[in-house]
A = this chain, B = another copy of it.
Amino acid sequence: MSINLTILGCHSATPRANAFPTAQYLEINNRHFLIDCGEGTQRQMRKYKVGFTKINHIFISHLHGDHFYGLIGLLSTYGILSREKELHIFGPKGIKEVTLLQLKISQSHAKYPLIFHELTSKESELIFEDDKVTVRTIPLKHRVYTNGYLFTEKEKPKKLHIDNINHYEEIDRADYNNIKAGKDIVLSTGEIVPNSELTLPPKKPLSYAFCSDTCYKPDIIPIIKNADLLYHEATFLADKTDLAKKTKHATTKEAALIAKEATVNKLIIGHYSGRYKDITLFKDEAQEIFKNTKLAEPGKVFKII
Residues B14 and A63 in contact, CB atoms below 8 Å apart: no
Q: Can you name 8 extra interface pairs (CB under 8 A) apart from A15-B77, A63-B106?
A: A14-B77, A15-B42, A20-B43, A63-B105, A64-B106, A69-B72, A98-B98, A98-B101
Contact check, A13 vs B107: say whether CB atoms are below 8 A apart: no
Bound-state Cα–Cα, A64 to B64, Å? 22
- A binding-site residues for B, Cβ under 8 Å: 13-17, 19-20, 39-40, 42-43, 45-47, 63-65, 69-70, 72-73, 76-77, 80-81, 94-95, 97-98, 101-102, 105-108, 143-144
Instruction: Establish whether residues A73 and B39, one from each chain, have CB atoms under 8 Å apart when the complex forms.
Output: yes
CB proximity of A42 to chain B, nearest CB, Å: 4
Q: Is A16 in contact with B46, judged by CB distance below 8 angstroms?
A: yes
Whether A65 lies near B72 (C-beta < 8 A) is: yes
Most chain B CB neighbours (cut-off 10 Å) among A14, A40, A72: A40
Q: Is the CB–CB distance between A14 and B80 below 8 Å?
A: yes
> Which of chain B's residues have a CB closer than 8 A to the CB of A63?
105-107
Contact among B16, B47, B65, B76 for A106, CB-based, below 8 A: B65
* A77 nearest CB neighbor, chain B only: B15
The closest CB in chain B to the CB of A70 belongs to B39
Distance in Å from the Cβ of A249 to the closest Cβ of chain B?
14
Contacts of A98 in B (CB 8 A): 98, 101-102, 105
Which residues on B sit within 8 Å (CB–CB) of A45?
A: 15
